[in-house]
Structure 1
């Protein structure tokens, strides 16, 4: 389970405001990518917080409420929309969303712990932590917030475009989603730069 070992080591060096940063939604064919930044107070605990991919949707929602309603936790979430993803590519859009999330925090940040590899030209000092959502509690909390925030947006999109089944696959390239793309073509929430959306010979679907 993730803990605060990395955060505590940074605080011991005088870096008191340590933000865990993670994203959700890099792989789907539709919808934005989301990123969250979380600063936890020293000795903070919340049973069950873990890499969001290991949690059920119901458990993620429960933990999201616990983390985001705790007045001691400083957090923010940000997005890169489909247009930006298609314009600058998914990796750069993800990094931009991460930077926006840190910038949106209500206090100055001394250091960031980012899930994955270091981010080139990131505006804050940081460490990349491979599989960090299973190691750092603040990254794990960020992973839950990013995932739940994005899933809620995908549920809204499913009401707008029910034919794609976004509420079931959250935009990922499942067999059901690919079949819907073949039938209806892409909608305005699809990433035109992603395969197989870019390969479709069908005209674009609803705007």
Structure 2
């Protein structure tokens, strides 16, 4: 286990400007995912590098989950440790912001790639017919970010990953996909390896910015401030969820509606819904058409504009062959 530096004396905003995180792409459409990345230092293309992967926001019922990665040359490991990185969960907001600025100031040796996974994307993945667990969503993001770095020319040699699920199975999966890399998957990697700590900072600062600056596109009287920490156990979050549910359309895109905390409130406060395709499947089994098809107006224009609810969530009509 690598020793971490004492972070109690990390200077607060020692630079004149704060870290710059461009959320423009995500703010334009927070129903989908978005990538944020730095320029790749030339030295990271010329020398073998270490590569850290970590996430922020896995547990909350509100807001996105963010996967962060950071990389630097192996020859720069000692200097990386001197910067004072630590698990982002042990630091306050000012300390995290100061460390994010340090990463950006070290742009001649350090780079990062970040993926913001929207609440809508997470919930849809977990509730679709071929369900995709949160662990699977997490692994997909980590793998995608590593592939992106390799495709961009980063000379990755060592990879350190904070695990989701069984560490050995995850490491075997990654080693099978990337047989030429030295991969270490372990719990608490963000407290053991400074490069993972740096990735943790990238993820946490980005999530905090995306959450506090969330763009509520829904045209309603949603309380956009008093939602608490976003964790299901927070009474303020539970109160916010109960007070901001629409009986027809449910929650705003800020909510991961696949979480049991949200689904319980929907069951209690929203109108029950009978999906047409469920009826069609039942009737097809009986050899007859769905009763609901008789109520469709014959003159209905199939090009009729969809309700805003469906446009906001990127929902599209599909045909199953």
Q: Same fold (TM over 0.5)?
A: yes
Per-residue Cα deviation, 1:141-167 (whole angstroms, up to 9, x for no partner): 100110001111001217768725377
2:270 to 195, 199, 203: 203
Are 1:84 and 1:93, in contact at CA under 8 Å, matched by a contact in 2?
no
1:17 equivalent among 23, 45, 49: 49
Please say if residues 216 and 252 of structure 2, whose CA atoms lie closer than 8 Å, have aligned partners that are also in contact.
no
CA change 1:175–1:167 in 2 (3 A) is closer
Unaligned runs of 5+ in 2: 6-46, 126-131, 246-250, 272-308, 313-321
Question: Is 1:103 equivalent to 2:147 in the alignment?
Answer: yes
Q: Residues 1-33 of structure 1: CA distance to partner in whole angstroms, max 9, x if unpaired?
A: 437xxxxxxxxxxx9322011111110002221
Tell me, yes or no, if structure 1 residue 78 matches structure 2 residue 110.
no
Please list every run of 5 or more consecutive structure 1 residues that lacks an aligned counterpart in the other structure.
4-14
Q: 1:180 to 1:158 in 2, by over 3 A?
A: farther
User: Counterpart of 1:50?
Assistant: 86
Distance in 1 (CA, whole Å) between partners of 2:216 and 2:258 is 24
Query: Following TM superposition, by how much is the alpha carbon of 1:198 offset from its aligned partner in structure 2, in angstroms?
Result: 1.2
Report the TM-score when normalising by structure 2.
Answer: 0.54
Deviations 1:44-89 (A, max 9, x none): 2343310000000111011011112312102111122223322123
Q: Aligned partners of 2:146 and 2:68: how far apart in 1?
A: 8
- Which protein has the larger Cα radius of gyration, Structure 1 or Structure 2? 2
Residue 144 of structure 1 aligns to a residue in which SS? helix
Q: Please report the RMSD computed on the Cα atoms of aligned residues, expressed in angstroms.
A: 2.6
Q: Which residue of 1 aligns with 2:202?
A: 145
Match of 2:252 among 172, 187, 193: 187
Q: Is the 8 A contact 2:51 2:195 kept in 1?
A: yes
Per-residue deviation, 1:189: 1.9
Cα distance, 1:196 vs structure 2: 0.7
- Verify the 8 A CA contact 1:80 1:94 in the aligned structure 2: no
Query: Number of residue pairs matched?
Result: 194
Other-structure match for 2:192: 135
**Structure 1 residues 168, 69: closer, same or farther in 2, change over 3 A?**
farther
Aligned-partner Cα distance in 1 for 2:261–2:255 = 11
TM-score (norm 1): 0.82
Deviations 1:72-123 (A, max 9, x none): 1021111222233221232111112222322333414233110122526334
Equivalent position to 1:94, from 129, 135, 138: 138
Worse overlay, 182-191 or 49-58: 182-191
Quote the Cα distance in structure 1 between the aligned partners of 2:196 and 2:227. 25
Partner of 1:172: 231
